[in-house]
């Protein structure tokens, strides 16, 4: 902030020119700036102000829990590089001792050279270290085309933190599709503004945060939450339990059907394929309809791995909930 003193004569000489500039139809901004330069002279400095864009409550802890839950976190923002880097430090994605790779070149050739230089550095480094990658919006536009997307994904997948700055809505959606093309896992996009709608709709699961940025993201998302910190409970509690119940219910239905089929198959051998059934027809009909339908239904409603508090307190259990059913079908059938 700065101040200067003007006499009535100086102001009366300056004001008509500023008025004409403010109503000009052509080059209005340039004319206003020229008039402002005439008066903004011999200023006396009063001080400086700054605006801090504080994170919501629980953001840092939630992001740390997401990492413990086995998730890879990418930040797609419209802020400039310096602001995005500071946000990375604030939320704990970038550590003070973490090496940071920055790609902010303007031309495609320089962007490709910098990208391949970083890839060669990673190849030559045999020790596993955590690296942060920061990409500007202009460079990201080059990386998503000209056959550089697979190289960019190779580099980004080996970094513990990826921050893309100055991203347009279409670039955010393109990054999500890039991950879907080269990664086997599912994508989840979280946003709170209209600029995040394309990204949310492109992801496998979209979560919108309703707040000061409006309701556009929430209306376009699959799930809506009031604050970012509620994402932990949405994933680690409701998401894990829903996955657990749905998976176990489906496996139970297959299991009980296989049990009945195996019995009928083995009996047909001893009955010399005479089409004689070991059970009467009514028992076979009611087996799936009534006798064995209640256990999987009860599992789908009430079963859970741990209590809600334990699942929210220990995010590592989320990984267990995703992989503990891969061999359960074989185990159940053997039993």
Q: Is residue 220 part of a domain?
A: no
Q: What is the CATH number of the domain that holds 162?
A: 3.40.50
Q: Is residue 224 part of a domain?
A: no
Give the Cα separation of 94 and 91 in Å (integer): 8
Tell me the Cα Rg of the chain.
30
Give yes or no for a contact between 119 and 125, defined as CB atoms under 8 angstroms apart: no
Q: In the block, which residue shows the tokens 């059913």?
A: 325
Q: Are residues 36 and 105 in the same domain?
A: no
**Residue 106: burial class (beta carbons within 10 Å; 0-12, 13-18, 19+):** exposed
Classify residue 103 by its DSSP letter.
E
Q: Are residues 89 and 170 in the same domain?
A: yes
The tokens for 252 are 């139970």
The tokens for 30 are 């340039």
Summarize pLDDT for 106-163 with one digit per residue, the tens. 888 899 999 999 988 888 776 667 889 999 988 998 898 868 889 999 999 888 889 9
Residue bearing the bigger pLDDT, 290 or 221: 221
Q: Are residues 64 and 34 in the same domain?
A: no
Q: Is residue 260 part of a domain?
A: yes
Q: Are residues 273 and 172 in the same domain?
A: no
Summarize pLDDT for 213-237 with one digit per residue, the tens. 778 889 999 999 999 999 999 999 9
**Which of 131-140, 203-212, 317-326 is predicted least confidently?**
317-326
Q: Is residue 159 part of a domain?
A: yes
Q: Are residues 8 and 79 in the same domain?
A: no
Domain count, the chain: 3
pTM of the model: 0.76
Q: Are residues 293 and 319 in the same domain?
A: yes
Q: Are residues 173 and 258 in the same domain?
A: no
Q: Are residues 32 and 116 in the same domain?
A: no
Q: Are residues 26 and 87 in the same domain?
A: no
Q: Is the pLDDT of residue 322 over 80?
A: no
Domain that holds residue 329: 235-334
Query: DSSP characters for 29-96?
Result: HHHHHHHHHHHS-S-EE--------PPPTTHHHHHHHHHHTT---EEE-SS-HHHHHHHHHHTTSS-T
Give the Cα separation of 66 and 63 in Å (integer): 5
Q: Are residues 166 and 282 in the same domain?
A: no
């Amino acid at each position: 902030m700065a101040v200067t003193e003007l006499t009535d004569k100086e102001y009366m000489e300056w004001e008509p020119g500023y008025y004409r500039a403010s109503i000009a139809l052509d080059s209005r901004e340039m004319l206003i700036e020229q008039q402002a330069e005439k008066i903004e002279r011999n200023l006396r400095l009063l001080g400086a102000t700054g605006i801090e864009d504080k994170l919501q409550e629980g953001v840092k802890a939630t992001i740390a829990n997401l990492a413990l839950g086995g998730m890879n976190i990418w930040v797609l923002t419209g802020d400039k590089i310096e602001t995005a880097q500071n946000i990375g430090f604030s939320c704990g994605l970038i550590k003070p001792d973490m090496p940071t790779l920055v790609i902010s070149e303007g031309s495609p050739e320089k962007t490709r050279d910098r990208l391949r230089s970083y890839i060669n550095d990673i190849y030559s480094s045999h020790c596993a270290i955590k690296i942060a990658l920061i990409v500007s919006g202009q460079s990201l536009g080059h990386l998503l085309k000209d056959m550089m997307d697979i190289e960019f994904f190779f580099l980004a997948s080996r970094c513990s933190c990826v921050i893309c700055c100055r991203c347009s809505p279409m670039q955010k959606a393109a990054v999500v599709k890039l991950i879907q093309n080269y990664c086997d896992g599912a994508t989840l996009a979280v946003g709170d503004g209209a600029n995040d709608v394309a990204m949310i709709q492109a992801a496998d699961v979209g979560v919108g945060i309703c707040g000061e940025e409006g309701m556009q993201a929430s209306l376009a998302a699959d799930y809506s939450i009031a604050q970012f910190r509620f994402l932990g409970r949405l994933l680690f509690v409701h998401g894990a339990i829903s996955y657990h119940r749905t998976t176990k219910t489906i496996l139970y239905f297959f299991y009980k059907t296989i049990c009945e089929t195996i019995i009928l198959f083995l009996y047909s051998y001893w009955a010399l394929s005479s089409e004689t059934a070991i059970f009467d027809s009514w028992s076979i009909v009611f087996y799936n309809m009534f006798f064995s339908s209640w256990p999987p239904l009860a599992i789908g409603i009430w079963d859970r791995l741990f209590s809600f508090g334990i699942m929210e307190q220990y995010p590592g259990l989320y990984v267990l909930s995703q992989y503990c059913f891969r061999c359960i079908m074989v185990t159940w059938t053997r039993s």
